[in-house]
Amino acid sequence: MILLLSRLSYKAMVKLIPGYRKEHRSFQIRLLDLLHRMFTIVLAILGPMVVFYVVEDWVLFSLGILLLLGIGLTLRQALPRYWQQIQLFLNVGSVREGERIFVDGLPWRVKQINIFSILENPVAQISQRVRIDELVDLKSRPLRKEEPWFPCVRGDWVLLSDGMRGKVTGISLELVQLIERGGAHRTYQTADFLALSPLNLTTNFRVKETIGITYNLQQESVTSIPDILKTHVEKRIADEGYADKLLNLRVEFERANTSSLDIVVIADFDGAVADLYNRLRRAIQRWCVEACTENDWEIPFTQLTLHQPQAVTP
């Protein structure tokens, strides 16, 4: 009867008290909820004791007294930690609703604090339920709009530091799954995935390719050759249908290398063609070779000079 009345009174509070169902409840509503829970527990304990006393069942009444004494001694030792949990429940502790917290190697937004609290990562679209006592030793802090939550979302193309490039098809607390061009799937543990510093290509990306020419073109390498090469690359990009995805193109002298004078092609593309990242890299190299062929620019090969000691004459 006590539990039934408690349940009915709780439903009445939810319906009659404004703001009881809000995502972030006020301190007064949280305090009322806590008092209701504590009052229910006290009545659930005292109810059987009253029954034992009324029916004069002194054996069960004495056992109940001993049980309450044992619970009291236990609570005395655990009271500091319970007090911290009460502060968290009232949203006045070290972790608060709507703030940012770091758990299991990921940042989380504290969506709801209750006996079982809800943490969510809004970008990765994952959540987890944790007991309130697991939050006692943690600290949260206010959110900032520009703070990152996760390096990608489902559907993004990413390039990992191990050379893996793929489309993100699944994100969970434990695993991240990628699909390569061609259909092969690869799965990483979430911590390992983040440790590989994923480069998100979907937001826009840059391709840098270098072509070397011989030293007999030293004067032209810093004057006319970059402009001619840029014009050729722009034309080939338009011919192959990538002009509307090209955001910026620069061709510059990069450095005087050991066996060549290096010219770098820097192209920024829209993230819509992120799945063609490697194809675009190969295409730029091909266009550079075409320009060298058309303009008779020699592409040198790596040269190695050997020095042999002179023979000693007797």
Q: What is the pLDDT along the chain (314 residues), one digit of tens a residue?
A: 888 888 888 788 778 777 777 767 777 777 877 788 888 878 887 778 788 777 777 778 788 788 877 777 777 766 777 788 888 888 888 899 889 999 988 999 999 898 899 999 999 999 999 999 899 889 999 988 889 999 999 999 999 999 899 999 999 999 999 999 888 999 999 999 999 999 999 989 999 999 999 999 999 989 899 999 999 999 999 999 999 999 999 999 999 988 899 999 999 999 999 999 999 999 999 999 999 999 999 988 765 555 566 655 55
State both tokens at 13.
């509070």
The angle that helices 27-54 and 58-89 make with each other, rounded to 10 degrees, is 180
Give the containing element (helix H, strand E) for 71.
helix 58-89
| pLDDT at residue 311 in the model | 56
| pLDDT at residue 104 in the model | 87
Q: What is the DSSP letter of 141?
A: B
| pLDDT at residue 141 in the model | 92
**Residue among 152, 89, 160, 159 at smallest CA distance from 121:** 152
| pLDDT at residue 289 in the model | 94
Q: Is the pTM here over 0.85, yes or no?
A: no
